[in-house]
Structure 1
Amino acid sequence: MLPIFILLFCIPPPMALSLTFKKLPLPTGVTGPSSFAFDSLGRGPYVSVQDGRILKYKTATADFEDFAYDAPTRSSAECDGKTNYDDLGATCGRPLGLDFDPTTQELYVADAYVGLMVVGPEGGLATPLANSVNGVPFRFLYGVGLDPLTKDVYFTEFSAVYQLRDITQAVVSGDATGSLLKYDALTKEVTVLLSGLSGASGVAVSADGEFVLVGELIGKRIQKFWIKGLKSNTVETFITFEGRVNRIRRTIFGDFWVAVNEIIIINPPTEVTRPTRIKIDPFGITLLETVALDKEYGNTRISEVQEHLGAYYIGSRNVTVNFVGVYDTI
């Protein structure tokens, strides 16, 4: 399949939002809501935050409570409300990607510092599944996606060179040491499916389990890796953007939401970011919806778009963001 180039500057103006925008405030001092998940009962969102926790939203009281954490060395006194992951990441953990198994109520977590984890229905300390591949420790895990049929877990290593604190350096250098990995639910083994990715970011498995999509934040594209069929174990370009691709989330209808941070050149070389949510079909051919979010988010980059019960939940790894943004019907 030939690459499909999406020129965000040339497409018609983004759709007018027919939704209201509201903020779900995080606890005092807590920032960086990176990724979301909802359990099979619709509870949530569960959200990964900067200080190493996974929080759960309580609709009845309209606030968040502690649900889980990844690092066994984490303490509330040392980590709660902290944003200095340069020094505290290894101690506090930094969950970046979340995905629920609706049949077991288990929450799978990609933690930048701790590794691939799973959290039981009652929360608490996560159980480690893997922290290395072929004897080499992971560096900077980012996204995670569960195969709805086999329960295999697909996840990304943003870079094999840079740590979370060095993401800007990785982008500037054009780092291409990222990987797409698979955790086999039966053998418990980790294998590398793709390497040489330029900032491996979001990951999502198709509804039929035929393929997995993986984003390249630096490469500004999404790759499709075929899991089954005649093309099994081959890769092709799914879609290409003029912005940085973050997470990918499958909808209940099998389409995909993508968080894209459009790069706008105002006075070369000055750049500004326009956070945008883009919905694409399972074939990477049709843009079903394109909505700019700069009215509410300004120049702040977003990390995830997730649709749940007609509302759109927006994540941002930025340490200045202290809320979960929700676009909802009136």
Structure 2
Amino acid sequence: MASGGAPAKAAAISLLAAALLMLLVFLPGGVAAAGIVVPSIDALPRGLLRGPESVASDGKGRGPHSGVSDGRVLRRNGDKLGWTTHAYGPGYSADACTASAHRPETVTKSRCGRPLGLRFHLKSGNLYIADAYKGLMRVAPGGGEAKLLVNEVDGAPLRFTNGVDVDQVTGKVYFTDSSMNCQRSEHEMVTRTGDSTGRLMRYDLRTGKVVLLRSGSTYPNGLAISVERTHLVISSTGPCKLLRYWIKGSKAGTIEVLADLPGYPDNVRPDGRGGYWVALHGEKNELPFGFNSHLLALRIGGDGKILEEMRGPKSVRPTEVMERKGGRLFLGSVELPCVAVVTRK
């Protein structure tokens, strides 16, 4: 760890605590307040680590697990042990990557990687990792070095591997490559230029083959398989839309708009009730001044209607919202040094 890491961590967490102690408000349908929640802060180890982008728990409820800025996937092991290393990609160097976690991704990307989307295959316990720079990886239940499964499709390298989900029945893995032109370190260019070279793919663990399902997409980001396993819900970040891609039935292979959103969507996670939590990195027409509050996330029904809004301070820009039993919501972020754990009153 670089010198001065501990004070940097304390300062960051202190500022974050001040921001998060502002109450997050949930609005059903955006109409009236349904309840108020108070978040707690689950800080990452080491002062220079940040960015727990995606949050996932295995079939035994262990975790959460989250990928961080030095290229590792960490697992939370209760209050006594805290966060420990669960997985890392091929070529990872603890000395080089941990010490340079605060450096630009352009310096560390090839060796360290940057884990984004995470999903478990619950039956096997395998964790699938969408690493922005390395590609699609898988690590066994015990953790350790992940195996690289896919780093190119039809001869074109994955440049911005982003979202992932697993069909729990077939074990097939769906994942996105947000751009064929830009890497994650250039993600603002993807939105600014309207880049439409994104791809949607499916990996079959039984055959080890990957199939290109759709190309020419505009910033495909997170995705989730529907409860019926008939379609995927995909966030299209730049256009501020949720898309529905059919994988079964008479519409198989077609795509349609499920919802127009008031902000830029990131990851999509099931809410356990047939709908989805969609994290918003920012509002579409957000003003740089005024009230220190904005939309953090939306709960969307299977029909695309907004069921609930989550609002909070502008210093919080979540990339994922995962709901677990007991009304707890885990908020991931690529910018903050913590996971926010929100419990409804």
**Counterpart code for 2:339:** V
Matches within 5 A, 1:62-77: 63-70=82-89, 72-77=90-95
Q: Which amino acid aligns with 2:296?
A: T
C-alpha deviation, 1:17, in angstroms? 4.5
- Partner of residue 174, structure 2: 154
- Partner SS for 1:266: coil
What TM-score, normalized by structure 1, do the two folds share?
A: 0.89
Bigger mean CA deviation after superposition, 77-86 or 36-45: 77-86
Q: Which amino acid aligns with 1:328?
A: T
> Aligned partners of 2:62, 2:129: CA distance in 1, in Å?
17
Partner of residue 47, structure 1: 66
Indicate whether 1:304 and 2:325 are aligned: no
1:80 to 98, 103, 111: 98
Query: Which range is displaced more, 228-237 or 58-67?
Result: 58-67
> Size of the alignment, in residue pairs?
311
Task: Give distance in 2, aligned partners of 1:26 and 1:300.
Answer: 16
Is the counterpart of residue 266 in structure 1 residue 287 in structure 2? yes
Alignment of 1:134-145 (within 5 A): 134-145=154-165
Show the 5 A alignment for 1:216-235. Answer: 216-235=236-255
Superposition deviation, residue 213 in structure 1: 1.2
After superposition, residues 99-248 of structure 1 pair within 5 angstroms as 99-248=119-268
**SS at the partner of 2:283?**
strand
After superposition, the CA RMSD in angstroms is 2.0
Provide the rounded CA distance (Å) in 1 between the counterparts of 2:137 and 2:228.
Answer: 24
- Pick closer, same or farther for the CA change 1:195–1:14 going to 2, 3 Å: farther
Unaligned runs of 5+ in 1: 1-10
Q: What SS class does the counterpart of residue 238 from structure 2 fall into?
A: coil
User: 1:36 is paired with a residue of what secondary structure?
Assistant: coil
Letter in 1 for 2:283: E
One-letter identity of the residue aligned with 1:313: F
Cα displacement string for residues 9-50 of structure 1 (whole angstroms, at most 9, x for unaligned residues): xx7467465322100010122101100110111111001111
Aligned equivalent of 1:7: none
Query: What is the match of residue 6 of structure 1?
Result: none
Question: Would you say 1:323 and 2:344 are equivalent positions?
Answer: no
Sequence identity (%): 33
> Would you say 1:289 and 2:318 are equivalent positions?
no
Once the two structures are overlaid, the 10-residue window that deviates more, 168-177 or 43-52, is 168-177
- Give the unaligned 5+ runs of structure 2: 1-28
Give me the TM-score of the superposition, normalised by structure 2.
Answer: 0.85
Residues in 2 aligned to 1:62 and 1:120: alpha-carbon distance in whole angstroms: 21
